[in-house]
Structure 1
Amino acid sequence: MSSTATSNYKLVKNIKTGSFDLKKLPSYSLCLQVGIRDFQLCVVNKQTNTCLVLEDYKLENIKTINTRLEAIQGIIANHSFASSDLWDNIKLTFKTHKFTLVPNSHFIPEASSDYLALNSEIKTKIEEVYYYKHISSDAVNIFAADKKVIAWAKGQYPNKSIQVIHQGSTLIEGILAYDDHSHEKAMYAYFDRGILHLTVCQQQKLLYYNQFAVRKSEDYLKYILLVFKEVGLSAKTSKLIVWGLIKTNAPQVELLKKYIRNISLGTKPNFLKFSEAFEDVADHRYFDLYSIFLCE
């Protein structure tokens, strides 16, 4: 793995397969994911459903939305191929706690801001409201996204229609497409940098999704057990599958094992193909990034 560092970002993971071909960009999907202090990109060959590129950047010295944008601009501007406008499609995903899920049958697009305002403060000067209608469920995800990042993306890729997505939607679509389903109700957790995502499904139907801010191992246990109780799961028998940016023996996981018997780390999804270049990427990492291309 090569590494790159500047004053405001550091490349912490870099995978590019031998089958990646600059001449084939028109058949590739470019997936970008923006967090408060991280940025990832992934390239998928849509014709073969093969993951070709994965890059994970840690954003450093980020104190404002402008410095975050500058870091992202620097990454793309100095990139050997991500700045190209020849992609088949471009998907831009945001990690944000400002979201709400509503049933499609009750959704009115013109009222998107009103739905979101019920549980989030929308800063109209810096945020825009978007929505994503899920493919695999009846849910519509309404969320706020950074205006400046979106404006930059539209300027960077002027000939493409940028699809704006919420991280929660990528996880929901990925989990519902995940092949390790049973007919039993189960919980799927994603441990991100400071955020815990919890999804509950049964027979490939979405029953629950939410995210929680976490700081210590006890926070993970608290929220997982709280949701277990809320949705009627059993700590003795119900399945908990965990993905995320954690080590196999992370303190959070070791603590959970003391209270939840049927817990396991998730695997790479089988809706994507991976070459040997990805063997050094732990199976339970980057599930959200892999799932972006599913969102249509």
Structure 2
Amino acid sequence: MTGEPLTLVNYYDRLFDQVLTGQYSLSIRIDPDGLSFSVYSHLVSRYIGIESVLLHQGSAFSSGETAKTLFSDRLKDFLQKHEWILNPFRHVSLIVHSPTYTLIPHALYKPESKAEYLAFAHQYEQTNVVHEQFLNAAEAWLVYAVNNSINEVIEQYFGSARLLHHAGAMIETILPHYRHNELQNPVFVNVRQGSFDIIVLNEGRLRYCNSFSWKANEDLVYYLIFVLDQLALNPENVPVMLSGLLEPDSALFALLQQYIRHVSFMQNPEISKPGISLPVSNDYKFFDLLNPGLCE
């Protein structure tokens, strides 16, 4: 693609006013190929805007340093041309994608050892910046690395924002919704450009979380079936819920239906509230961004 961003989603309620950002909360998600963000009004207690743009063809985060630098330059350019995003907000949360992460139980966590925890689980560039996030719902810490060029953009434009890892944001969104749900061992699959996450709950607690790379549809289905097998979960009766870059009429969804009996798309209760006219067909793509808990 060219250097111009491609708008994928753009919905704003009539109540949205760029001048009144001090009354709103902003949630931003830096994806492997672009940027998505939502605006929450505390005055009316609902979302009044959501937008998603494509900045890079394919996953910039799984490419070389040149691609990552190009992505960060396009990200800067987009932010500078959309100045209202940089206005003062009541609260700003920023979700960043990183395939390099690990989880540590709260009782065992030592902040001074976060780089060691990550090095034990992953090989990563020492120029990357290591961050930590406490997952209150899971009583665990998530340690992750962010590419230096992306981290510089975050510090330059959103230095005071609450920084969240993409898997951490999903866990903090999913667990409160399903902690007291009747579903047994629900499995959540969040699909992105070039990678996807699998999160599994058991009796309202986090049982499993991991991310995988994928290119062909068969890759994703293989890893999912493998994880279910390792956790002794039967594809015939386990509920699998999907979010992210996936369409109901896609070949990937059709393939999943061949191997998983109970597979469906996640539904967000925020969409049912009056406000932004976001089609139901899109709500599962922004499940983590439409979480008022991130606006506190």
Is TM more than 0.5 here? yes
Tell whether 2:110 aligns with 1:108: yes
Aligned to 1:66: 69
> How far does residue 257 in structure 1 lie from its aligned partner after superposition?
1.1
Query: Which of the numbers 75, 81, 85 marks the counterpart of 1:82?
Result: 85
The 1:7/1:117 distance shift into structure 2, 3 A limit, reads same
Aligned to 1:25: 21
Distance 1:280 1:20 in 2: 21
Aligned to 1:163: 162
SS at match of 1:64: helix
164-173 vs 273-282, greater mean Cα deviation = 273-282
Alpha carbons 2:32, 2:192 under 8 Å: kept = no
Alpha carbons 2:271, 2:283 under 8 Å: kept = no
Q: What residue ranges of structure 1 are gaps of 5+ in the alignment?
A: none
Distance 2:202 2:274 in 1: 27
Pairing of 1:89-100 with structure 2 (within 5 A) = 89-100=91-102
1:106-125 superposed Cα distances (whole Å, 9 cap, x missing partner): 00001000000012223232
SS at match of 2:84: coil
With the length of structure 2 as denominator, give the TM-score of the two structures. Answer: 0.88
12-21 vs 179-188, greater mean Cα deviation = 179-188
Distance 2:262 2:281 in 1: 24
Distance 1:79 1:52 in 2: 17
Aligned to 1:207: 207
The 1:165/1:272 distance shift into structure 2, 3 A limit, reads farther
Distance 2:125 2:295 in 1: 26
Amino acid in structure 1 at the alignment position of 2:164: I
Q: What residue ranges of structure 2 are gaps of 5+ in the alignment?
A: 61-65
The 1:280/1:204 distance shift into structure 2, 3 A limit, reads closer
SS at match of 1:220: helix
Distance 1:194 1:269 in 2: 28
Pairing of 1:135-154 with structure 2 (within 5 A) = 135-154=136-155
> How far does residue 166 in structure 1 lie from its aligned partner after superposition?
0.7
Distance 1:23 1:254 in 2: 45
SS at match of 2:277: helix
With the length of structure 1 as denominator, give the TM-score of the two structures. Answer: 0.88
Distance 2:215 2:45 in 1: 36
Tell whether 2:51 aligns with 1:55: yes
Aligned to 2:230: 230
Distance 1:118 1:89 in 2: 34
Q: Which runs of 4+ in 1 moved over 6 A?
A: none
The 1:291/1:192 distance shift into structure 2, 3 A limit, reads farther
Tell whether 2:17 aligns with 1:14: no
Distance 1:263 1:223 in 2: 16
Tell whether 2:38 aligns with 1:42: yes
Distance 2:77 2:156 in 1: 14
> How far does residue 275 in structure 1 lie from its aligned partner after superposition?
2.0
> How far does residue 6 in structure 1 lie from its aligned partner after superposition?
6.1
1:236-261 superposed Cα distances (whole Å, 9 cap, x missing partner): 11111111211112111111111211
Amino acid in structure 1 at the alignment position of 2:71: R
SS at match of 1:285: helix
SS at match of 1:289: coil
Tell whether 2:174 aligns with 1:175: yes
> How far does residue 226 in structure 1 lie from its aligned partner after superposition?
1.0
Distance 2:265 2:161 in 1: 33
> How far does residue 104 in structure 1 lie from its aligned partner after superposition?
0.7
Alpha carbons 2:188, 2:199 under 8 Å: kept = yes
Q: Identify, as 1 or 2, the structure richer in helix.
A: 2
Distance 2:23 2:34 in 1: 27
> How far does residue 263 in structure 1 lie from its aligned partner after superposition?
1.4
SS at match of 1:66: helix
Amino acid in structure 2 at the alignment position of 1:104: H
Distance 2:153 2:247 in 1: 34
What's the % identity of the aligned pairs?
20
1:243-290 superposed Cα distances (whole Å, 9 cap, x missing partner): 121111211111111121111111124498452521365232222332
Alpha carbons 1:196, 1:213 under 8 Å: kept = yes
CA RMSD of aligned residues (A): 2.5
Amino acid in structure 1 at the alignment position of 2:29: Q
